[in-house]
Amino acid sequence: MQHAAELLAVRRAVFIDEQGVPEAVEVDGRDAGAWHLLARDAAGLPVGCARLLPDAHIGRMAVLRGARGQGVGRCLLEAAVQLGQRLGMAQLHLHAQVQARGFYEAAGFIAEGDAFLEAGIAHVAMHLTVRH
């Protein structure tokens, strides 16, 4: 996987170090079969990432603390949706951390069902119907 070390470094900083997700949960063995997006800052350093799985699940959306509030997450999500669209996926799915629900709703995702715990963090399932 190209850029694997950089992708994992961003995910480790956000999910493992900052949010306390166990490494065994974060490193789930699904990276090899996924498409990955990596955001870089003006200096070329990695600041964010996202992953799209073949089952149309967007996940591992992470932006380093110092790069938040600058539109990095929005750009990563837009790129993931566009990638899914190019791959012919009719509907995209994700598990949003509850505090980020509004971010995904602003991008057109619709929440479904009640909140649930994933890696000890409250999440809500969301979906987006892709326009072709």
Domain ranges of the chain: 4-129
Highest CATH level, class, for 4-129: alpha beta
Q: Residues 45, 94: contact at Cβ < 8 Å?
A: no
pTM here is: 0.94
Q: Place 61 in a pLDDT band, splitting at 50, 70 and 90.
A: very high
Q: Which residues pair with 95 in a beta bridge?
A: 125
Amino acid symbol at 25: V
Q: Model confidence over 86-113: pLDDT tens digits?
A: 999 999 999 999 999 999 999 999 999 9
